[in-house]
Amino acid sequence: MTLSFSPLHPLFAAQVSPIDLRETDDPGLLEAIRQGMHQYGVLVFRNQPMTDDAQLAFAERFDGTLHAKTGSSALGTNRFGNEALADISNLDENGQLLATDDRRRHYGLANRLWHTDASFVEPHGRYSLLSARALPPVDADTEFADMRAAYDDLTAEMKHTVAPLHAQHSIAYSRQILGFEFSADEAEKLKGVVQPLVRVNSVTQRRALYLASHATSIMGWPLPEGRLLLHDLIEHATQPQYVYRHRWENEDLVIWDNLATMHRARPFQDTQYRRDLRRVTTLDLPRTAP
């Protein structure tokens, strides 16, 4: 089978066909998808009717070890009983809409901030695979920003400035700036880690900014200056020319490279309409040969 990659944006993102990811275990096809990820950063697969087990199994075939130390795991177990399957929905354990004042809804609102999945743990996240199980009858899109193109367009002086820098990443920070309150025990579990501000793809050698709303400060810089630099870089990297907006269709599965992109959910009437998305994220570990 030969895959077709149809660009969705002048800089990045492509739709892939024809393929059924549930049945994809051929090493050549899996490698073709990985090469597509290196080139496009975001890949869209239509008509992928995933079950939870099928999504988890494909993610493991595609990129190995799964991320299970999610930020929400510090608050309690999710409704699937498997922390490797992140609940990106507005539903409770009975499939009903979360109340406006539900703590889980408040926590999930931070997904509307520009972020990078699993940047707050080590090993950090690499690929995220998000499956659309149920969609509202209104737009509930996801936006992606190309951090490689954003890096390429920095001035030579700014590239020199950011090259050696590292930032502290904590998922607690991105929630706290929206007023979410953690207990002392929860905060202890979410201290975060230090990450470089620029990453290099080991295959393509392309550099990319590594940013997120989880980034709290730049190591060795005074707090105000560090946060201002992070703010300015995110503002630069999310200009319209770097952004692809994905309009979801039922049974879409979208894969993105967290070392090459940032993303955010767009708001919709989440206390009125159901939306059920489920995400699996792999850890950035060296792949073993099949």
The stretch 9-35 carries a mean pLDDT of: 97
Report the predicted TM-score, pTM, of the whole model to 2 decimal places. 0.95
Q: What is the structure's pLDDT at 290? A: 46
For residue 75, pLDDT beyond 80: no
Determine which of 65-69, 108-112, 139-143, 232-236 has the lowest per-residue pLDDT on average: 65-69
Contacts 24+ apart (CB under 8 A), 267-270: 267/112, 268/136, 268/138, 268/139, 268/140, 269/136, 269/138, 270/90, 270/97, 270/98, 270/105
Over residues 149-176, the pLDDT tens digits come to: 999 999 999 999 999 999 999 999 999 9
The stretch 67-93 carries a mean pLDDT of: 84
Rounded to a whole number of angstroms, the CA Rg of the chain reads 18
DSSP 115: B
Question: How far is 268 from 218, CA to CA, in rounded Å?
Answer: 33
What structural domains and CATH numbers belong to the chain? 4-283 (3.60.130.10)
